[in-house]
Amino acid sequence: MSAQDTIFNANKHVIHCTHGSLDLSVPAVMGILNVTPDSFFDGGRYTQEEAMLIRVEQMLEQGASVIDIGAVSTRPGAKIIPEQEELDRLIPAIQSIRLQFPHCLISADTYRASVAREAVRSGADIINDIAGGNGDAGMFAMAAKLKTPYILMHMPGTPETLHEPPFYTNIGKEISAFFTNKIHELKKEGVEQILLDPGFGFGKSLENNFELLAQMNAICLLGYPVLAGFSRKSMINRVLGTKPGEALNGTTVANTIALMKGASVLRVHDVKEAVEAVKIVMQMKKNDSGHAYP
């Protein structure tokens, strides 16, 4: 089997959720909804129900396949909030969106097993764990118990140290090894539906991030759908000299490269532009099927 075939097989996964299925034969777009007062780009915009529902409706109309709800900011310098505060933000948001959009796929962005449990009970379909199981020793067992798809993100250390870049000898190989070990643990617990997030911007220097992007096909070759999340992050702003509000074009470029490298899901603030990137790349692949990607 060629590298191209392996990557395309990863893209053909269908993720089965309580409220529908996510067909990854064409890359999907995950819309970010932060119900936090302090996230780096849109903090405070969607803490009120009306604004939140308007935003969700807009993202769904623009082509989002999943809405990813986060109630804890992971920007540099953000404080780790108590579990109850996370629940007080996250659970009402999930319940409100589920009521208003009954067929919407919802991802709960949390590293706490107990929060994941309450999120799924309230209507979430997917657990998106930025800590890759390192933030809560019970997360893998909880994911197995809930029988939900699980997004496994690479983040060295813990949520408290996530912005401290470590040293990598070969980032592609090291993150692939991390995923291989974690997948084994997840499978042992009984988790069947796994997506991989290389964790751009988490515990990685500027150079690490772009080296990882260049080697992202190595992650795709593991045979699981890969999620790429660059949206308006500092890895873009530091190269372009922009601020998060000016980073849409840079984000689209990074998204396009990730799609060329085999990404199955783009996690973004700007759904319309990401959907357009998917359409362009898929059309190119369709018309140039003899060329091996990446």
Measured CA distances, 67 to 83, 268, 273 (Å): 21, 10, 16
Which residue, 88, 14, 13, 101, is CA-closest to 57? 101
233 catalytic? Reply is: yes
* Catalytic-role residue among 267, 272, 279, 286: 267
Q: How many other C-beta atoms are found inside a 10 Å radius of the C-beta of residue 245?
A: 10
Which residue, 263, 216, 257, 213, is CA-closest to 235? 213
Q: What radius of gyration, in Å, describes the C-alpha atoms of the chain?
A: 18
Backbone angles phi, psi at 141, to 5 degrees: -65, -35
* Catalytic-role residue among 117, 232, 233, 261: 233
Task: Return the axis-axis angle of helices 171-189 and 206-214, rounded to nearest 10°.
Answer: 70
117 catalytic? Reply is: no
Helix (H) or strand (E) holding 174: helix 171-189
For residue 159, give the amino acid letter.
P
Residue 167, token pair as written in the block: 């040293």
- Catalytically annotated residues: 233, 267
